[in-house]
């Protein structure tokens, strides 16, 4: 029921109120409301629980007996605490599980779960539950290891560092954990090509984080790419204690005055930039990725043997983001002026950055159509190749510089103004949205495989066709959820 629409927030609040009213007994609420419909069944399995969905102690003991004896100490500690979190909902248990999860570096089989992202909540507060199981993609292991080893030097090439660690970078560099994975199962409403976790700033600052790239998801995306459009923070760590010197504050490069704001105890960018926090961070993150592509040595690390011209790779990266920025308008609700997807919010902002700099041009065209009486409208984006390395990268660098500074020092007013000015959908943007929706194609299906243990003890991978029937059958074969 977590719909992405103007009515989503009201619907979700109504469901919460009904759940509270019934004490969780939906059956009694159905009788009170005189609703006589029986539960709907698909393939012999009910689409909702007739009773509480909690695991029994016997089921939990069975899970522990089945998996825990065969795990490393780090993984055993992680899964034990994760199970405790899932039973209790205690966020501290999830944070403790995250610490053990981070210590389990580069496992062959990777898992992660929790209420991870608020991006699908129109208020940007409530998080969607996600869980995944993935297997290491060894073909990318060497490239990712080399990239992690050179990450610090690449970070120093970001515009706020200028070759040296600035006050607006993390005090301690934690070597990133970069993993290439093939997804086996990802329980989520919208499958992205990667994930950075955990999302807790205090955990990330002290223990680091994992960058998970889902290679089979990325390959699936590139195989069906829509070509229609182509031609860390200062904070107070304890009462009176800071991770910076309050007597010697650095200059804010946006004002040339000493920094005068920071995060107090319990505050984070998510709580300070409420409502736009996730879209803001995604815009910064994707902008950094695109900017670093042009950094010295970056592409050679990932593809040392490639014969493709680096300028061509960078051109295609900018073009891809620009096209995604156009498609992003499908999730924008013009009535509520809200975005249904934070990544869409971010990518539209990057598109507008390209257009404002003159490196990109978007135009609506009328095209003759043999079957229709009236011309079909289309929207096209073109890039000026000669400007990408100069004008385009400079504009992108200026944008991520401002976003990073405001985020680091909790300059909410300035950061919010920059981001909202960048992503406001004006009359021109609404026209683009109309044309994009006129040419919308069916949503791509990403169907996961299943592993099956045979009577002989062999593990067999069962795959399914990329159809609605294949998607349903894959979930049915996983058994009751």
Taking only the tens place, the pLDDT of each residue in 448-464 is 888 888 888 888 989 99
pLDDT recorded at residue 223: 44
Residues 328 and 394 in one domain: yes
pLDDT recorded at residue 24: 56
Highest mean pLDDT among 164-168, 186-190, 300-304, 431-435: 431-435
Residues 45 and 123 in one domain: no
pLDDT at residue 205 greater than cutoff 50: yes
Q: Which residue spans within 168-238 are E strands per DSSP?
A: 177-187, 194-197, 210-214, 236-238
Residues 351 and 416 in one domain: yes
Q: Within a domain: residue 67?
A: no
Percent of the chain with pLDDT over 90: 26
Q: How far apart are CA 306 and CA 382, in angstroms?
A: 26
Residues 17 and 132 in one domain: no
Q: Within a domain: residue 185?
A: yes
pLDDT recorded at residue 274: 81
Give the closest residue to 475 by CA, choosing from 450, 442, 453.
450
Token pair 């946006």: residue? 254
Decide: helix, strand or coil at residue 378.
Answer: strand
Mean pLDDT lowest among 168-177, 349-358, 361-370, 430-439: 168-177
* CB contact burial 88-106 (16+ within 10 A = b; e otherwise): eeeeebbbbbbbbbbebee
Q: How far apart are CA 136 and CA 107, in angstroms?
A: 7
Count of domains observed in the chain: 3
∠ CA 57-58-63, nearest 5°, is: 95
Q: Please compute the mean of the pLDDT values over residues 151-155 and round it to a whole number.
A: 79
Q: What is the CA radius of gyration of the chain?
A: 24
pLDDT at residue 399 greater than cutoff 60: yes
pLDDT recorded at residue 385: 92
Q: Within a domain: residue 231?
A: yes
Tokens describing residue 222:
């590139």
Residues 243 and 269 in one domain: yes
Show the domain range for 418. Answer: 105-446
Burial of 294 (0-12, 13-18, 19+ CB in 10 A): buried
Residues 239 and 365 in one domain: yes
Q: Please compute the mean of the pLDDT values over residues 52-67 and round it to a whole number.
A: 66
Residues 432 and 459 in one domain: no
DSSP class of 311: H
pLDDT at residue 148 greater than cutoff 90: no
Q: Within a domain: residue 62?
A: no
Categorize the per-residue pLDDT at 67 as very low, low, confident or very high, splitting at 50, 70 and 90. confident
Residues 424 and 282 in one domain: yes
Residues 313 and 164 in one domain: yes
Q: How far is CA 193 from CA 186, 212, 326, in A?
A: 11, 9, 19
Q: Are strands 332-333 and 338-339 parallel, antiparallel or unpaired?
A: antiparallel
Categorize the per-residue pLDDT at 403 as very low, low, confident or very high, splitting at 50, 70 and 90. very high
Residues 392 and 468 in one domain: no
Categorize the per-residue pLDDT at 23 as very low, low, confident or very high, splitting at 50, 70 and 90. low
* Cβ-contact 412, 264 below 8 angstroms: no
* Cβ-contact 292, 298 below 8 angstroms: yes
Give the closest residue to 134 by CA, choosing from 74, 186, 176.
186
Q: How far is CA 126 from CA 119, 246, 410, 426, in A?
A: 8, 34, 22, 28
Residues in the chain: 481
Q: Within a domain: residue 91?
A: no
Contacts of residue 250, defined as CB under 8 A and 6 or more positions apart, other chains included, come to 166, 167, 168, 244, 258, 259
Q: Within a domain: residue 100?
A: no
pLDDT at residue 50 greater than cutoff 70: no
Tokens describing residue 6:
């103007």
53, 70, 85 — which closes off a domain? Answer: 53
Q: Within a domain: residue 79?
A: no
Residues 160 and 240 in one domain: yes
Categorize the per-residue pLDDT at 291 as very low, low, confident or very high, splitting at 50, 70 and 90. very high
What predicted TM-score, i.e. pTM, was given to this entire model?
0.68
Taking only the tens place, the pLDDT of each residue in 126-147 is 777 888 899 888 878 777 778 7
More confident residue, 220 or 137: 137
Q: Please compute the mean of the pLDDT values over residues 345-370 and round it to a whole number.
A: 89
Tokens describing residue 141:
């292991």
Question: Where do runs of H (alpha helix) occur along 297-453?
Answer: 298-302, 310-327, 342-357, 385-387, 393-408, 412-423, 427-438
* Cβ-contact 111, 262 below 8 angstroms: no
pLDDT recorded at residue 170: 67
Residues 160 and 268 in one domain: yes
pLDDT at residue 38 greater than cutoff 70: no
Q: How far apart are CA 312 and CA 305, in angstroms?
A: 15
Q: Within a domain: residue 244?
A: yes
Q: Please compute the mean of the pLDDT values over residues 163-179 and round it to a whole number.
A: 69
- CB-CB neighbours of 442 under 10 Å: 6
pLDDT at residue 174 greater than cutoff 70: no
Q: How far apart are CA 234 and CA 404, in angstroms?
A: 11
């Amino acid at each position: 029921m977590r719909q992405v629409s103007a009515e989503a927030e009201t619907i979700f609040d109504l469901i919460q109120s009904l759940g509270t009213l019934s004490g969780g007994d939906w059956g009694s609420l159905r009788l009170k409301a005189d609703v006589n419909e029986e539960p709907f069944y698909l393939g012999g399995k009910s689409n909702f629980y007739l009773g509480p969905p909690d695991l029994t102690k016997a089921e939990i003991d069975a899970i522990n007996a089945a998996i825990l004896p065969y795990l490393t100490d780090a993984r055993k500690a992680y899964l034990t605490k994760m199970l405790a979190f899932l039973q209790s909902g205690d966020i501290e248990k999830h944070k403790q599980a995250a610490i053990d999860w981070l210590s389990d570096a580069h496992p062959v089989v990777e898992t992660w779960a929790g209420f991870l992202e608020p991006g699908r909540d129109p208020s940007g507060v409530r998080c969607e539950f996600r869980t995944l199981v993935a297997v290491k993609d060894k073909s990318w292991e060497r490239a990712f290891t080399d990239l992690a080893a050179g990450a610090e030097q690449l970070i120093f090439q970001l515009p706020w560092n200028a070759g040296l660690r600035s006050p607006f970078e993390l005090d301690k560099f934690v070597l990133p954990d970069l993993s290439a994975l093939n997804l086996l199962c990802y329980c989520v409403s919208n499958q992205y090509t990667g994930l950075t976790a955990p999302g807790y700033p205090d955990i990330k600052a002290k223990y680091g984080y994992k960058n998970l790239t889902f290679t089979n998801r990325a390959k699936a995306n590139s195989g069906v790419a829509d070509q229609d459009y182509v031609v860390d923070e200062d904070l107070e760590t304890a009462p009176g204690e800071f991770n910076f010197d309050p007597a010697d504050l650095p200059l804010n490069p946006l004002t040339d005055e000493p920094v005068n704001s920071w995060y107090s105890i319990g505050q984070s960018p998510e709580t300070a930039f409420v409502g736009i926090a996730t879209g803001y961070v995604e815009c910064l993150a994707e902008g950094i990725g695109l900017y670093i592509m042009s950094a010295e040595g970056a592409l050679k690390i990932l593809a040392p043997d490639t014969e493709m011209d680096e300028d061509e790779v960078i051109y295609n990266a900018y073009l891809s983001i620009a096209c995604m920025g156009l498609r992003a308008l499908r999730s924008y609700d013009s009535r509520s002026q809200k975005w249904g997807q934070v990544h869409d919010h971010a990518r539209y902002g990057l598109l507008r950055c390209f257009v404002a700099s003159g490196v990109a041009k978007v135009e609506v065209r009328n095209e003759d159509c043999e079957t229709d009486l009236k011309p079909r409208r289309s929207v096209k984006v073109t890039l000026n190749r000669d400007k990408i390395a100069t004008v385009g990268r400079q504009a992108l660098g200026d944008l991520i510089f401002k976003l990073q500074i405001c985020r680091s020092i909790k300059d909410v007013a300035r950061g919010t103004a920059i981001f909202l000015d960048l992503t406001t959908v004006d009359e021109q943007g609404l026209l683009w949205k109309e044309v994009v929706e006129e040419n919308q194609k069916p949503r791509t299906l990403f169907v996961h495989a299943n592993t099956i243990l045979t009577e002989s003890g062999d593990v067999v991978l069962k795959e399914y066709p990329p159809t609605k029937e294949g998607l349903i059958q894959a979930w049915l074969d996983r058994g009751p959820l």
